[in-house]
Structure 1
Amino acid sequence: MAYAIIRSGGKQFRVQSGEVVRVPSLADKNEGDAVEFGEVLATGGDNGVTIGAPLVSGAKVTGTVVKQGRAPKVLVFKFKRRKQFKKLKGHRQGFTAVKIDAIA
C-alpha cells in the first residue's frame, strides 16, 4: 500500500490513498473542492522508500475537501495567588478534513 509524508500548515502528515486526514485550515477551499499537496517529503510502498532532500521531485498528493470545521475548545486558565488575578481564555483551532484520492 503506497503512502506519502506531506507538509501542510507547518505540520507533517503520513497519508494513504482513501484516507481522511485533518490538516490545519485551508481557508480558501470549500467542501467538494480539489486540493493538491505539492510539498511531499517522502513516499513509500511496494517498490521501496523515496526520501526527498528536502522534497521528492515530481511527487504530489491530490485530495478532496470533505469538511471545514473547528476542533473542540481548549481552555487556558491563568492564576496568580494572593493577587486576585484570574483569567480564562478559550481557543478553537480550525481544520479542513481532506480525503486523499491519489498519490503520484
Structure 2
Amino acid sequence: MYAIFLNGGKQHRVKEGQIIRLEKINLKIGKSIKFKEILMITDKKNIKIGTPILSQSLIEAYIENHGKHKKIKILKFNKRKHYKKTQGHRQLFTDVKITKIITNTKEFN
C-alpha cells in the first residue's frame, strides 16, 4: 500500500515504514505529525483518488531528524562588465518516518 500526499507545495509518494526528507517542519525530534492533504491511496487491487483530496484519510508519521543540505553556490557573472557576485545557500530539511496510512473506507482495512 502506498499513498501520495501534498506537503510544502510538493507531492510525495510514501509507504509505511519509509523515511522521507521534507522541507523543514517546526516540531521537535520524536513528535508525531499528521498529514491530511492526501491525493491518492492504493494497494495492489484498489485505488482511491481524491477530488482533489481524500477527506477522511490521513498519514501518521514522526520526526526523526533535522538538518541542512549541502551548500549550493550561486554565481552571477557578466563578461567584460567587471561584475561578479557569489552567494551560497543551504536548504533546511526534516526527516520524517511514515508509521501509518489511515483511510476510513473498509476496502483498505
TM-score normalized by the length of structure 2:
0.90
Percent identical pairs in the alignment equals 36
**Structure 2: unaligned runs, 5 residues or longer:** 103-109
Correspondence for 1:62: 60
Size of the aligned set, in residue pairs, is 102
**Structure 1: unaligned runs, 5 residues or longer:** none
Deviating beyond 4 angstroms after TM superposition, the runs of 4 or more aligned structure 1 residues are: none
Letter in 2 for 1:40: I
Letter in 2 for 1:43: I
Correspondence for 2:30: 32
1:79: Cα distance to partner? 0.2
Superposed CA RMSD:
0.8
**Distance (whole Å) between structure 2 residues aligned to residue 62 and residue 87 of structure 1:** 44
2:86 aligned with 1:85 = no
**Distance (whole Å) between structure 1 residues aligned to residue 9 and residue 64 of structure 2:** 21
Deviates more, 1:39-48 or 1:72-81: 39-48
1:31: Cα distance to partner? 0.6
SS in 1 for 2:25: coil
1:57: Cα distance to partner? 1.8
1:67: Cα distance to partner? 0.3
TM-score normalized by the length of structure 1:
0.95
SS in 2 for 1:4: strand
Letter in 2 for 1:96: T
